[in-house]
Copies of this chain bind each other. A is one copy, B any other.
């Protein structure tokens, strides 16, 4: 026990020093975190930014309630998918005019995947990850069916060698830069480059990366990317997704979801579709404005923040988490699923433990909120804008208390259901 207390004291001093030196310490005030909660589930649903409640009250009461239909022009509703797209673009390394916001990730993915496969007529393979988030795999299968191509499931770490051997037949590679379960990160630039060498098109799903990693879509010459607004970007439950279409592909973006907002002359009410110029052709139809305006307000939490600083702190936090886990959880049956090399880490730490479910449930009951993925993964996401080194230590300390005392064996922590 003395050893542990000494360890805890040392780690607490470390956390204190790291927090004191944190250039992003000030952004925590931009979020309304509930008293007494340590929130490590921002990789699933981001915390509430303080800018959102007044923005939503204005959107509901003044824009909708008072200005009514005139808000489409007078309050910028019509331009919002492109305006918020540009704001979001800065956070993923996209110059203005390449990102549109709206719909869900699954819908954006379907739209972009069809358009991407259509860019490579005659090629028959769509590569995706067997460990990709389920929706990505289902949508890939569905797209393959309507376009009569074949899905080949190749793990991210093997995709470069498969491309070298069989790349001539690959139309599109659709991958995530971060494994949503383990938090392992892949080399986006190297994979994109290998895909291009094979003459194929690269589509990235940034759901578990946008807002936490220092993404450089333009610099790595990504072709398409999609992502959601409600994880690290903290845009609110079911916040609209986004779609990046590299400028060079916009004039040939041939999407299946040809809604009227993507038309060159939407109010001409024409009977046949003519795509708008630029990324506007990727608009589908009326976006869910309350959710979209919440996302816009949420993104102000990034005002004046450099994504390089976000990434540096994220790695600091996950590194410190692993260090705390090494020191405090040894001998309790945990193994780290997240790689130790910083360049191979996203913005979460995943630990394996056979009692993952009750352990997470016991943590949540204490106000330390992470989540789990069956069968044995405990996931802890760190959003550098509001998570501190002190939070990380406190989480691991409480996890040790729970596992060492057997607190998680309480019947109320038995498995029922969980939701992302």
Known: A103-B104, A285-B104, A287-B238. A257 touches B142 (CB 8 A): yes
A64 to B141 alpha-carbon distance, docked (Å): 33
Known: A139-B258, A237-B71, A374-B268. A230 touches B60 (CB 8 A): no
Q: Is the CB of B106 within 8 A of A260?
A: yes
A168 at the interface (CB under 8 A from B): no
Stretch from A43-51, A198-206, A325-333, A396-404 that touches the partner = A43-51
Stretch from A9-17, A130-138, A302-310, A387-395 that touches the partner = A130-138
A68 at the interface (CB under 8 A from B): yes
Interfacial residues of chain A within 234-249, with CB under 8 A of chain B in the complex: 236-240
A47 to B63 alpha-carbon distance, docked (Å): 11
Stretch from A19-27, A269-277, A339-347 that touches the partner = A269-277
Q: Is the CB of B290 within 8 A of A236?
A: yes
Residues of B within 8 A of A104 (CB): 103, 259, 284-288
A337 at the interface (CB under 8 A from B): no
Other-chain contact of A134, B103, B237, B263, B289 (Cβ < 8 Å): B263
Count of A residues near B, CB < 8 Å?
Answer: 88
Residues of B within 8 A of A239 (CB): 288
Interfacial residues of chain A within 110-145, with CB under 8 A of chain B in the complex: 110, 114, 130, 133-135, 137-139, 141-143, 145
Q: Is the CB of B64 within 8 A of A48?
A: yes
Q: Is the CB of A271 within 8 A of B60?
A: no
Residues of B within 8 A of A417 (CB): 73, 267
Q: Is the CB of A290 within 8 A of B107?
A: no
Identity of the chain B residue whose Cβ is nearest the Cβ of A287 in the assembled complex: B238
Residues of B within 8 A of A420 (CB): 72, 267
Residues of B within 8 A of A223 (CB): none
A411 at the interface (CB under 8 A from B): no
- Seen from chain A, the residues whose Cβ lies within 8 Å of a Cβ on chain B are 32, 34, 37, 39, 41, 44-45, 47-48, 52-53, 56-57, 60-61, 63-66, 68-73, 77-78, 103-107, 110, 114, 130, 133-135, 137-139, 141-143, 145-147, 153, 228, 230, 236-240, 256-260, 263, 266-273, 284-292, 294, 364, 369, 371, 373-374, 417-420
Q: List 6 A-B contacts (CB under 8 A).
A: A53-B57, A110-B256, A135-B260, A138-B260, A138-B273, A237-B290
* Contacts A45-B64, A134-B269 known; 5 new A-B pairs at CB < 8 A: A57-B57, A107-B285, A139-B258, A146-B146, A267-B420
